[in-house]
Amino acid sequence: MLSTMQDEQLSLATLLKYASTFHSKAVVATWTGTGVRTMSYGEMGTQAAQLANALQSLGVQEGDRVATFMWNNNEHMVAYAAIPAMGSVLHALNIRLFPAQVEFVVAHADDRVVIVDGTLVPMFNQYLPTLPSIKHVIVANGDPASVTAPDGVTVHGYNDLLAAQSDTFDFPVVDERSAAAMCYTSGTTGDPKGVVYSHRSSILHSMQVCTPSGMEISGRDNILAIVPMFHANAWGIPYAAMMAGASLLMPDRFLQPGPLLEAMAAEKPTFAAAVPTIWIGVLSALAASPQDISHLREVVVGGSAVPPAMMHAFQEKHGVRILHAWGMTETSPLGCVAHAPAGVSGDEEWKYRYTQGRFPVGVQARLVDDTGAVVPNDGESLGELEVKGQWITGSYYSPQGGVIDPEKFHDGWLRTGDVGKITPDGYLTLVDRSKDVIKSGGEWISSVDLENAVMAHPAVLEAAVIGIPDPKWDERPLVAVVLREGAAADAATLKASLTGKVAHWQLPEYWTFITEVPKTSVGKFDKKVIRAQHADGKLDVVTV
């Protein structure tokens, strides 16, 4: 028996119409360094219609890819609103990729048009001659004359282009399974891989982001979206904000702790999202120059493990609750969020909040061992995490056909490459990436646990742990430490501080002091660089 319910397609065009009318007064504000320039959701709707008309006049059709090379700002939000709603595919380019990677992803996605921020034009000019699929460059917040255009490329000014267009557009409701947006993973090895989100996955994911078991976003929020719009669609925040009628505060290019804090002081956001490295920097800046940030009701942090010491510092010194979350580009990205269950408090509550989170109904999760067998969710057995669900990719984009990276999929599940354990009530704790796991004398050492323990020392700003070859134990951990400015602590002191926090045999004997942990294009610790530096003998290692 079928239901009597209507078969309405889930659609980002419907979302745009809803947000720009029923939440027309919600605001997108972009930080300019001294204040904000604002756009209401109503104005966003008008500009989205103008952009859609403009793109159509440039020949963009349903299914065509339109790239952005932009900071998080008003114009990027208009692109987010317009491009999928007109049935085309939004491809937010990671502005921090290496030139060869930009060349690869633009060719792979076959991007025809790109919208570029004026301040990024000097960088983009270097790439443009290697991007033959691009026929039109639209410059937002800058001078189109600054683009050095190769033959066959036409350059447009964003404002002039939009001003010439009608401010209405008949946004089509396309098949909900059609492509809406794509992101390439920042892949540590090999070519970047494309993940294509559908209208259906984007809407369902946004609903999950808004729920209390997600990020609890509501129309009362003003969200500081620090996570770049090219990193897993800013963790889904733009569309969730439109769904909830929440306002957005966009940091544009002002991503250093000082300017972020100035933007917070002026605009008092209630919610924010970014990777741990950003928040570690913000904490240091707050220590040097205290400021009330208790207007933040919650801050979601993920992308890499959140050090418990950082969570405590935010809560106890600044009254700000950190919400730990796990996800991947492949999972839209929301996988799980660490809300403690009802009825727990104190240390018990913290134990839940340290985890990567509890899976929502939309994310099925299991752990498998080296042989591919499922291990129990008993809170102790370790295995590789596999997930499936409505907003989890079932493959990588492959324009030429053929399956890219088939080993990432296992009987319809996505293999995450993350190793961890799951409690019977669905809380995930990750101990490592499978490729970062340290095996010492046949036993696993969690680099994440060691990093968290070292980062709990007051003299330590950042710590990254890698496995290095050891004649007796096969592998032992090497701790790369960045000390806080003006702080002092030697390897013996730091090692001593770990006693009682990690098993005795796990206490690391190899230490190196560095000035900065190398970071990936999305701000995570780049351990492959540390491994290469160690292999090349570039690190001064002390043994204690």
SS3 for 161-176, per residue?
HHHCCCCCCCCCCCCC
Binding residue for ligand AMP, selected from 134, 305, 419, 453, defined by CB under 6 A? 305
Q: Which of 333, 362, 477, 523 binds ligand AMP (CB under 6 A)?
A: 333
Residue 439 is a catalytic residue: yes
Give the nearest distance from C-beta 523 to ligand AMP in angstroms: 10
Strands (E), 400-490: 409-410, 413-422, 427-433, 438-440, 443-445, 460-470, 474-483
Tell me which residue of 108, 84, 115 sits closest to 179, measured CA to CA.
Answer: 84
> Per the structure block, which two tokens stand in for 100?
């060869």
Active-site hit among 30, 46, 68, 185: 185
Q: 399-405: list long-range contacts, CB under 8 Å, 24+ apart.
A: 399/108, 399/110, 404/193, 405/190, 405/193
Residue 245 or residue 389: which is nearer to ligand AMP going by CB?
389
CB of 51 to ligand AMP, least distance (A): 28
Query: Which of 208, 277, 304, 377 is the binder for ligand AMP (CB under 6 A)?
Result: 304
Task: Report the 10 Å Cβ neighbour count for 83.
Answer: 29
Site for ligand AMP in 116-155 (CB under 6 A): none
CA distance 58 to 158: 13
- Listing DSSP states for 360-380 in one string gives -TT-EEEEE-TTS-EE--SSS
Q: In a 3-state reduction of DSSP, which class is residue 467?
A: strand
Residues 6+ apart with CB under 8 A from 529: 518
Hunting for tokens 């090497």 — which residue is that? 478
Minimal distance, residue 437 CB to ligand AMP, in Å = 12
The owner of tokens 């317009």 is: 82
- Part of the chain binding ligand AMP (CB under 6 A), chosen from 134-142, 286-294, 319-327, 473-481: 319-327
Q: Distance between CA 2 and CA 428 in Å, rounded?
A: 36
Which of 208, 277, 377, 416 is the binder for ligand AMP (CB under 6 A)?
416
328 binds ligand AMP (CB under 6 A): yes
Residue 331, amino acid: T
Q: Which of 239, 254, 326, 510 binds ligand AMP (CB under 6 A)?
A: 326
Which range of residues in 34-42, 161-169, 326-334, 477-485 is near ligand AMP by CB under 6 A? Answer: 326-334
- Is 250 a binding residue for ligand AMP by CB under 6 A? The answer is no
Q: Contact between 356 and ligand AMP (CB under 6 A)?
A: yes
Q: How far is the CB of 183 from ligand AMP (least distance, A)?
A: 8
Which of the stretches 9-17, 55-63, 109-117, 322-330 binds ligand AMP when contact is defined by CB under 6 A? 322-330
**In degrees rounded to 5, what are phi and psi of residue 448?**
-65, -45
428-487 binders of ligand AMP (CB under 6 A): 430, 433
Catalytic residue among 103, 135, 188, 444: 444
Of the pair 199, 231, the CB lying nearest ligand AMP is at 231
- The site map against ligand AMP for 202-241 (x = CB under 6 A) is ------------------------------x---------
| CB closer to ligand AMP out of 303 and 362 | 303
Label residue 390 exposed, middle or buried (CB < 10 Å: 0-12, 13-18, 19+): middle
> Of the residues 330, 384, 451, 462, which is catalytic?
330
Closest-CB residue for ligand AMP? 329
List binders of ligand AMP among 32-91 (CB under 6 A).
Answer: none
Looking at beta carbons only, is 324 or 476 nearer to ligand AMP?
324
**Residue 444 among the catalytic residues:** yes
Selected from 118, 257, 281, 302, the binder of ligand AMP by CB under 6 A is 302
Give me the phi and psi of 400, to 5 degrees please.
Answer: -85, 5
Best CA proximity match to 513, nearest among 486, 534, 539? 539
Q: What is the rounded CA–CA span in Å between residue 183 and residue 192?
A: 9
Catalytic site residue 326? no
Q: Which residues form the interface with ligand AMP (CB under 6 A)?
A: 185-186, 232, 302-305, 324-329, 333, 356, 416-418, 430, 433, 522
- Residues annotated as part of the active site: 185, 330, 439, 444
